[in-house]
Structure 1
Amino acid sequence: MGCVSFRFWDDCVNLLDLEAMWMDPNVSAEWVSVGETKGSKVHLSRNPDGQPYLTQTEMKAVSSIIVGRHFVSQIDSDMLCAIAELESGKQPLAMQYNKKTKEVTMGLMQLSQKTAEWIVSEMGFRIYDVAENSTMLYKPFVNVYLGAAYLKWLSCHDQKERSEEFMVRAYKGGVKKAAHKSTLGYWKRYLSVKESLPSRKIFEVNPLPYAPSTSAAGSEKKGTWDSRASVQDMEAMWNHPSVSKEWNKTGEKRGKVRFSLDNETRPYLSRVELKTVLCAIAETVCMRYVNGIGQRIGLMGIDYPTAHWLYKDLGYKVYVVESVEDLRKPFESMYFGAAYLAWLSQYDRRQRSPEFIVQAYLSGPQNVNLQETGPHWLKFQEALIRYEDLNKESGSCNIL
């Protein structure tokens, strides 16, 4: 643990995160009940050994805030709570030495510095800078964010959708031990802990902006087209007659064009907006949600390693992709999605059919079976039909 010491919440979270904690009604009620006051430093709870720990209410809030910002519909916040209980007893300063790997694991989710840096550098989860700074891993929001990112990677390991059991057991013993008897006991304890957690209906945190912001105005701006598109791209959108007509109809103003929101306040693109970019692939993959859906990131569902490969190795450099957050920007996501489609069209140096390209995009080129009409192709065709009238009005939207 070295010289790291937290006495107050203020020692290990920034002002935005502390404000988010106070906004959770269950946290604020708990804090007020023990004499904490907003505007003053908030004490961390201590166990009999004098070590700080998060109460169940606090742990649930941290997990829900992280999921709400970065992993909506991708990671279960209760999973994070249960793993933190098993790994560290919810103690942010917990530290263990693994004799086999000769690595030290730290924090609520017990991550090693090596794993944390890999998550940041290779997987693109770069909200927090942990390079050569292991003390960052003791901070609750940093540690839970990286733990969630690692679980997200496990959820689609080897390009296969994985079960909760695989994710949890792989988190404990690595992907090679996900089905080994050595991780079975951990899985059973996890289920027991998760079952004991309070109902999520009681502890629910409203969705927050996808990335930290320093002001209310900054938080509001994160829900706009202008925050995720360049000036040139926005000008092109305004110059498109169908888009400008739609935006003017809904009262949008230059410099502050809002995304449409569903009943869960998730931003998405209208079909008119989407038609100016790529069309039915985005409908099929992520239902036009700006942040993506499930394990798919952004409109086109492109993951960071694929986008980074397209950028670095294949020379698609119109847009820079430096982190996962870049892929939540509509133009960036569509650009790298289109680049991936172009690569698939010549996969294995062969001219490929539209059916192959669509199936390969959605399930991987190794998993395509053209002997049968797969559900992905049918879903794509259904989505494409919705754009026929728009195509007749103002030209076609060529994807393939």
Structure 2
Amino acid sequence: MPISFKYWDDCLDPEDMRLMWQDPIVSKEWTDAGEEQGQKVHLSRDPDGEAYLTQTEMMAVASIIVHRHFKSQIDPYMIGGLAEIASGRRLFVDTYDRKTKETKVGIMQVAPEVAQWLGRELGYKSYNIEDNPNLLYWPLVNVYFGAAYAKWLFSCDDKQRTEEFVVRAYKGGKKKASHKSTSPIFQRYLYVKESLLSIRQPEICNELTPDLETLSSTEAQLIYWDSKVSEADMDAMWKHPDVYKEWTKSGERRGNVRFSHDAKKRPYLSRVEVKAVAEIIISRHLSTRGSKPEALSALAEVCSMRFVHGVSTRTGLMGIDYPTAAWLSRDCGYRAYTVISVDDLYNPFASMYFGASYLAWLSHYEGREQSYEFIVQAYLGGPENVNLQETGPLWNQFLEALTQYQDPKKYACAFCLKLCLTFFSKKSFCLR
């Protein structure tokens, strides 16, 4: 066994230990077991002496990681279920895969090579395991990469996948995701997930946000605009008359502007904020490209429902993934915003910028000017997947969202809206 811990404190940062104690269900479980705050907390051991996480602890870890890195993108109960079928929630289990010649480790059974690929190619760089692969045995680190891999499976091979596919592929491999041999895996997963729901209700699964006075920098990023956005961009937002009116009315103060949050505490932008971000990005960086803020805002509505982190497999406000943003920056010259990791795309301004840049590239896909319908459908479904049956509904969703941002007096009906849609200028919307 390459590594082992005796205490939770040996494999968690002090801040993460504070969050574990802050969870009321974990706190009760630990206190009932004789643990005390300020003292090291023992890891649970089975009769053979092997360390494991209780279901309560597992859900707390999943909740912290989802809340911090995958808010509105993945279900913490799914992570808890995957950990159960992957390792039985055991911390130090290693499994050698003869076909891939990889050793999967930890509670989510993540291979170091996969974790490194996720960081290098997909921008998951919150934890650096390049120099210290043993970090993968830390519960939060292992769950972080396991959740990232599960998210990737949801859209692997440019297809939208079901929960069943992801679960079966996670445990049995993509090639066996539809094979009868992996069917029992999904059935067990459903049983475990139901069990987790019975001991921990959804509304308290992720209630780990502390009082505002005790926020860490990481937690503040989930609440405050100022933690994600540059000072110059915040200044531009305050100067926007509609934003100024909205923020002042809601009691916001410079330096401490809160995101709106839904009932699940997922941060999102108001429509006023979305349109303002679009207007600022266009005026600063893409004014010669023919973009219209109403169109960008409508795409944000469809892609992410205006959630800061995005929805499901779509990353950030505009649903632009890290590989696409990195390519636009590296190969197409769009470098007004830096994209080093996937977390950079949770900045609404960066996401809007790369979303608008991607539209610019799509407008001349395959070297010719494309129609408005093609550009929108290609943005939402991929340029190689545009067809009336599969992506046509996306165009209709876009038109419906567009009505939320257009002047209703100017466009009295959807038909007129479609005829008057001129959010791209064919002459000016081109790459440098």
Q: TM-score, with normalisation over the residues of structure 2? A: 0.84
Native 8 Å contact 1:55 1:90 kept in 2: yes
Q: Select the residue among 331, 336, 341 that pairs with 2:354.
A: 336
In 1, distance between residues paired with 2:64 and 2:389? 45
| Alpha-carbon distance change, 229 to 132 in structure 1, aligned in 2, over 3 angstroms | same
Native 8 Å contact 1:223 1:258 kept in 2: yes
- Equivalent residue, structure 2, for 1:234: 234
- Equivalent residue, structure 1, for 2:148: 149
- Equivalent residue, structure 1, for 2:92: 93
- Residue segments in structure 1 that go unaligned for 5+ positions in a row: none
In 2, distance between residues paired with 1:237 and 1:399? 22
Q: What aligned pairs does 1:1-400 form with structure 2 within 5 A after superposition?
A: 1-2=1-2, 4-199=3-198, 201-202=200-201, 204-207=204-207, 216=215, 218=217, 219-220=219-220, 222-276=222-276, 277=278, 278-370=296-388, 374-389=392-407, 399-400=423-424
What code does the residue aligned with 2:266 have?
A: R
Q: TM-score, with normalisation over the residues of structure 1? A: 0.91
In 2, distance between residues paired with 1:274 and 1:191? 38
In 2, distance between residues paired with 1:354 and 1:128? 41
In 2, distance between residues paired with 1:7 and 1:380? 54
Q: CA deviation at 1:179?
A: 1.8
Native 8 Å contact 2:220 2:227 kept in 1: no
Native 8 Å contact 2:23 2:208 kept in 1: no
Q: CA deviation at 1:88?
A: 1.8
Q: CA deviation at 1:357?
A: 1.0
What code does the residue aligned with 1:376 have?
A: L
| Alpha-carbon distance change, 390 to 249 in structure 1, aligned in 2, over 3 angstroms | farther
In 1, distance between residues paired with 2:20 and 2:130? 26
Q: CA deviation at 1:354?
A: 1.3
What code does the residue aligned with 2:87 have?
A: S
Deviations 1:320-347 (A, max 9, x none): 1111111110100000000111111111
| Alpha-carbon distance change, 184 to 376 in structure 1, aligned in 2, over 3 angstroms | same
Native 8 Å contact 1:74 1:293 kept in 2: yes
In 2, distance between residues paired with 1:177 and 1:290? 34
In 2, distance between residues paired with 1:34 and 1:371? 58
Native 8 Å contact 1:297 1:328 kept in 2: yes
In 2, distance between residues paired with 1:108 and 1:339? 39
| Alpha-carbon distance change, 231 to 202 in structure 1, aligned in 2, over 3 angstroms | closer
- RMSD, matched Cα: 2.5
Deviations 1:190-237 (A, max 9, x none): 33433443426537333557xxx9952533464222211112212222
What code does the residue aligned with 1:341 have?
A: L
Native 8 Å contact 1:275 1:397 kept in 2: no
| Alpha-carbon distance change, 221 to 288 in structure 1, aligned in 2, over 3 angstroms | closer
| Alpha-carbon distance change, 312 to 71 in structure 1, aligned in 2, over 3 angstroms | same
The number of residues matched between the two structures is 393
Comparing 11-20 with 328-337, greater Cα deviation is found at 11-20
In 2, distance between residues paired with 1:316 and 1:214? 38
What code does the residue aligned with 1:125 have?
A: Y
| Alpha-carbon distance change, 313 to 176 in structure 1, aligned in 2, over 3 angstroms | farther
In 1, distance between residues paired with 2:172 and 2:378? 31
What code does the residue aligned with 2:241 have?
A: P
Q: CA deviation at 1:9?
A: 0.5
Query: Identity, % of aligned pairs?
Result: 56
Native 8 Å contact 1:362 1:376 kept in 2: yes
In 1, distance between residues paired with 2:195 and 2:389? 48
Q: CA deviation at 1:91?
A: 1.3
In 2, distance between residues paired with 1:242 and 1:140? 44
- Equivalent residue, structure 1, for 2:288: none
- Residue segments in structure 2 that go unaligned for 5+ positions in a row: 279-295, 411-419, 425-432
Native 8 Å contact 1:279 1:399 kept in 2: no
Native 8 Å contact 2:85 2:171 kept in 1: no
In 1, distance between residues paired with 2:166 and 2:389? 32
In 1, distance between residues paired with 2:409 and 2:4? 61
| Alpha-carbon distance change, 40 to 160 in structure 1, aligned in 2, over 3 angstroms | same
Native 8 Å contact 1:95 1:106 kept in 2: yes
- Secondary structure of the residue aligned to 2:332 is coil
Q: CA deviation at 1:249?
A: 2.4
Native 8 Å contact 2:309 2:317 kept in 1: yes
- Secondary structure of the residue aligned to 1:254 is coil
Native 8 Å contact 1:65 1:205 kept in 2: no
Comparing 313-322 with 196-205, greater Cα deviation is found at 196-205
What code does the residue aligned with 1:41 have?
A: K
| Alpha-carbon distance change, 154 to 53 in structure 1, aligned in 2, over 3 angstroms | same
| Alpha-carbon distance change, 370 to 86 in structure 1, aligned in 2, over 3 angstroms | closer
